[in-house]
Structure 1
């Protein structure tokens, strides 16, 4: 078996496609690769790229169920983005009206990180690697 070579994409389902599209493109700065309306499903699919080449797929579906998140549910816990200058990104998010948790330090790696949420309250993390 060949080894995994990285994460190609993460898929997210949004309750309000336009609001989430704005969040991930304008606020977080992800590059749009492709955008399609899938008529049979009444669903949008937006392919976005991060600077390292990894991708995020943003979907819309009619009336998606809520995601259980707190108390923490079994399954994917959060999506973490690697950043070089955590304070700069936090300041940008706060200027856009997005709340971030206080910055913490990973007790095992010594790296700084914080959490914030997307428009559907999906937990997102900023993890400083520089």
Structure 2
């Protein structure tokens, strides 16, 4: 039987490694687990812990092709992070010059959420759990 316990990681390819490294570790506060430079690929791989179970793998490549990243584009819609205090998170992002959309209300769950973007425009969501 096929059985999944949780999502282990989400892989993101960035256009500016240092800028994205600062965004995910310095601003969002994800803990750096391991940083590897792969000489043969001229590429970095950064393992970041979101919590004990989930991670982000941040990759850099010399010239990655652009990809549409609007929330309604075909493919991955967005990456959502569960937070306990939506206003505190929005305030932290604003203090770091990161704009967020207006707070919305999930009509199915009654929960509040907002969207913002990473340095490459990847749509990210804060969902008040």
TM-score by length of 1: 0.96
Q: Kindly report structure 1 stretches of 4+ aligned residues shifted beyond 6 Å.
A: none
Match of 1:109 in 2: 109
Provide the alpha-carbon RMSD of the alignment. 1.1
Paired position in structure 2 for 1:34: 34
CA shift digits 1:48-86 (9 cap, x unpaired): 001243000000001101111248321100000010000
SS of the residue aligned with 2:5? coil
C-alpha distance in 1, partners of 2:53/2:70?
31
Q: Secondary structure at the match of 2:67?
A: coil
TM alignment of 1:42-57, pairs within 5 A: 42-57=42-57
User: SS where residue 19 of structure 1 aligns?
Assistant: helix
Q: Which runs of 5+ in 2 are unaligned?
A: none
Structure 1 portions without partners, runs of 5+: none
Aligned length: 129
1:18 aligned residue: 18
